[in-house]
Amino acid sequence: MMFWVIQTLNGISFGMLLFLLASGLSLIYGLMKILNLTHGSFYLLGGYIGLAVVHLTGSLLLAVLVGSLSIALLGALMERFLLRRFHLQELPQTLLTFGFLFIFSDLAIVIWGGNPQTMPKPAMFSESVQFGAFFYPSYRLFIIGFGFAIAGLLWWMQEGTRVGAMLRAGVDDEETARALGINVSLLFTMVFALGAFLAALGGVMGGPIMGVYPGADFEVMLLGFVVVIIGGLGSLKGALAGGLIVGLLDNFGKVFFPEFALFTIFAPMALILAVRPAGLFGRE
């Protein structure tokens, strides 16, 4: 019993980090149809900047804020000055975002060196919680709560605010949204920045569990893709469900079929592609 509880919590906490990553990827795709290959770099740079802030000020809260907001700005600039020119042209977009994947990963090596780094945990979550024989790292529980809070916040933004209404209109039919007087151009920049923000947030929050290291950009980008393929691109619900599914599949796959660790994620992905090409919550 204990075993199942602990393994499920592991899966959910990892799934929440994947959700942070995939929600941005999914939002950006939903509105702009951009396959953002730089998304993993946003995650990695967010982590590195957060780490630099921790070393400088010792404040983790500041690290989260500075790390994710600076990457949001970076995302906004990329969208405004580069990606914008290639609206709906997937080839230049792919080349651009893949190029920046290389540039940012090399830049991170120039600035921070190539050694893996460890992000400290906030003091209040450094211990494990214990209920009787049950024993679990409190930081992972915090990640689960935090992930759900972000999901709720995004949900409210999408469904309950004016910006959200504009966003939904833009996703449904960009032309009509323009005709209705929605500032689609501003919306694009905002959404791209938000996506970058979420990825960087994942990088800072995931730092105390996974560390910050060269190559993480590539690894998390691929996981992010699997999540959105399973969940469905352009859907918040899909990113959350996909994140949880992949997190749990990955966890129980490692436990029961350790030799096929990657396969327990990829096989369901292929299956879903065969049955529902648009993903669980994507629109056909």
Partner 1 sequence: MTNLLPHMSGRKFAVIALIGTAVLLALPYFLPPYYLGLVIKMMIFALFAMSLDLLLGYTGMASLGHAAYFGMAAYVTGLLALKLGWSVWLTLPAGILMAALTALLLGLLALRTRGSYFLMITLALSQVVWGIAFGWRSLTGGDDGLPEVPRPNLPLPWSMADSTPFYYFVLFFVVVGTLLLVRIVSSPFGCALRGIRESETRMLALGYNVWRYKLAVFVLAAAFAGLAGCLYVFNNRFVSPDYIHVARSAEVLLMVILGGAGTLIGPALGAAAIVLLENIISTYTERWLMILGFVYVLVALFTPNGLTGLIESLRKRRSGP
Partner 2 sequence: MRSLIAVTVALAAFGTLAKPAFSQEPIKIGVMFPYTGPISAQGRPERDAIKQAFDEENNTIAGRKIELLYEDSTGRPDTGLTKIKALVERDKVHLLLSELVSSIGAAVAPYVNEQKMPWISTVALASLTRAQKSPYIFRFVPSSYQYATTAAEVAKKMGWKKVYFIGWNAPPSRESYEAVKKVFGEENVVDAMFPNVGTSDYAPYLTKMDTSKADGVFTAMWGADAPRIVQQYVEYGLNKKMPLFGIASFTSEELLGDMPAASVGVLSAYTYCGTLDTAENKKFVEGYQSRYKAVPGSYQYMGYMAAKMVIQAIKDINGKVEDREAFIAALGKVKVKGPMGETSFDEQHGMVADFYVLTVEKGSNGQLQNRCGERIPQVKDPYASFP
Decide: is 14 part of the binding site for partner 2 (CB under 8 A). yes
User: What's the longest Cα–Cα distance across the chain?
Assistant: 62
Among 7, 163, 169, 237, binds partner 2 (CB under 8 A): 7
Decide: is 106 part of the binding site for partner 2 (CB under 8 A). yes
- Binding region for partner 1 (CB under 8 A): 29, 33-35, 82, 85-86, 89-96, 98-107, 110, 218, 222, 225-226, 228-229, 233, 259-263, 266, 269-270, 273-274, 277
CA distance 198 to 24: 6
**What would you report as the CA-atom Rg of the chain, rounded to the nearest whole angstrom?**
19
8 Å CB contact between 60 and 53: no
Decide: is 209 part of the binding site for partner 2 (CB under 8 A). yes
Close Cβ partners of 43 (under 8 Å, ≥ 6 residues apart): 21, 199, 200, 202, 203, 206, 216, 217, 220, 221
Helix and strand tally (H, E) in the chain? Answer: 11, 2
The one-character DSSP state at 215 is T
- Residue by residue, DSSP assigns 94-133 as HHHHHHHHHHHHHHHHHHH-SS-B-PPPPGGGSSEEEETT
Report in angstroms how near the CB of residue 281 gets to partner 1 at its nearest.
Answer: 15
CA distance 82 to 166: 23
Among 57, 59, 128, 176, binds partner 2 (CB under 8 A): 128
Decide: is 55 part of the binding site for partner 2 (CB under 8 A). no
Select 59 or 89, whichever has its Cβ closest to partner 1: 89
Decide: is 267 part of the binding site for partner 2 (CB under 8 A). no
Select 148 or 252, whichever has its Cβ closest to partner 1: 252
Which residue's structure tokens are 């929605």? 182
Q: Which does 80 bind (CB under 5 to 8 A by kind): partner 2, partner 1, none?
A: none
Among 202, 214, 224, 279, binds partner 2 (CB under 8 A): 214
Q: Which does 209 bind (CB under 5 to 8 A by kind): partner 2, partner 1, none?
A: partner 2
Cβ atoms < 10 Å from Cβ of 149: 11
CA distance 284 to 281: 9
Q: Which does 135 bind (CB under 5 to 8 A by kind): partner 2, partner 1, none?
A: partner 2
Q: Which does 208 bind (CB under 5 to 8 A by kind): partner 1, partner 2, none?
A: partner 2
Binding site for partner 2 (CB under 8 A): 3, 6-7, 10-11, 14, 105-106, 109, 113-118, 120, 128, 135, 137, 139-140, 208-211, 213-216, 219-220, 223, 250-252, 254-255, 258-259, 261-262
